[in-house]
Amino acid sequence: MIPNGFQWNEAELKQGDPLNAGLLSLFVIGADLMPVLIGTAFIIAAEGLRATAVSAAHCFEEVRKILHPNARHHLSALPEFLPIPKAVNLFRVKGLYMKGDQVHCCPIELALWDRETDLAVLTVSAPVIDPDFFRDIFWLDDQIPGVGEEIAMIGFGDMNVGPCPDPRHQFKMERRLVGRIGRVTEVYPEGYCLLKAPCIETSIPVFSGMSGGLVARYVHGAQIQPFAFISHAPEPQPLYNRAESGRSIAAILRMEKTKVAAGKQDIRFKIDNAGVGRQ
């Protein structure tokens, strides 16, 4: 619920909230062997030892920049004037996943992404042999809310990497599960600025680590079913001022549900101009 005078509100989510079972924090190990936290992904299909998740394409383009900092082309160069990029080696890219009270680093096997629509789809594998490791998913919704309707954005914020006081460990990673409620302020059926996909503008301010996080209609007590993912927002963001709009942009999932069965959904995504990453 959004109180009068507020543009958005935030839910109090505990560290062990069940939502963690469907979410990952993406990070890459840099040249200095320190992790760099880059965004959020949410799981849409699970088969025990393997899961499929959605995130934002710019997270993986950030991986490319970290792994290859001396690019021969200027960062502002338009993609259509650049040669086809080589596949990104994902060996140093992981998904931080919380199962129960245990934290796991999961390998990212494969990723496909579209820089124009900012959509990324990735395959994550279990770090242990456990046929029940990945079981929780988010069911997707193909209904788009209109202006004024309430929505929720969920991802990881307050991400930080620093020295660990325990000498047995090299570093410490911190994150906070963030769930915020706001309203749709604009709908852009043909895309907005450089985002060439249907999208919405919302009143919710987002942390940078929430990129790739889920966006769903908000109905109190109802199941969370994403229809979009968090793409970007203007800087600086009013991260703690609930009376000010964040004007964040969410990219609507371009998808087709081909089959829905007990505990499983088959989804087809449209990905053009694909960037590719693999182990």
DSSP the chain: ---TT-S-EEE---TT-GGGGGEEEEEEE-TTS-EEEEEEEEEEEE-BSEEEEEEEHHHHHHHHHHH--S-SS-TTS-GGGSPPPPPEEGGGEEEEEEETTEEEEEEEEEEEEETTTTEEEEEEE-SS--TTSB---PPP--PPP-TT-EEEEEEEEEEEEEE-SSTT-SEEEEEEEEEEEEEEEEEETT-BTTB-S-EEEES----GGGTT-EEEE--TTSPP-EEEEEEE--SS--SS-TTS---EEEEEP-EEEEEEETTEEEEEE---SEEEEE-
Are 174 and 97 a contacting pair, CB within 8 Å? Answer: no
pLDDT for residue 83: 57
- Rounded to the nearest 5 degrees, what angle is found at the Cα of 38, between the Cα atoms of 153 and 30? 170
CB atoms within 10 A of CB 246: 23
pLDDT for residue 31: 83
**Pair of tokens at residue 138:** 């988010």
CB atoms within 10 A of CB 121: 23
pLDDT for residue 171: 73
pLDDT for residue 74: 55
CB atoms within 10 A of CB 91: 14
Bridge-based pairing state of the strands 50-56 and 35-46: antiparallel
pTM: 0.92
Per-residue confidence in pLDDT tens, the chain, 279 aa: 799 999 999 998 888 899 999 999 999 998 888 889 999 999 999 999 999 999 999 999 999 999 988 765 555 556 555 555 678 999 999 999 999 889 999 999 999 999 999 999 999 999 999 999 999 999 999 999 999 999 999 999 988 887 777 766 677 788 999 999 999 999 999 999 889 999 999 999 999 999 999 999 999 888 999 999 999 999 999 999 999 999 999 999 999 887 777 778 889 998 887 788 888
What residues pair up with 257 in beta bridges, in sequence order? 267
What residues pair up with 267 in beta bridges, in sequence order? 257
pLDDT for residue 263: 72
What residues pair up with 251 in beta bridges, in sequence order? 199, 229
Query: For residue 230, which of 173, 158, 178, 159 has the smallest C-alpha distance?
Result: 178
pLDDT for residue 78: 60
Sign of CA dihedral 127, 173, 138, 11: positive
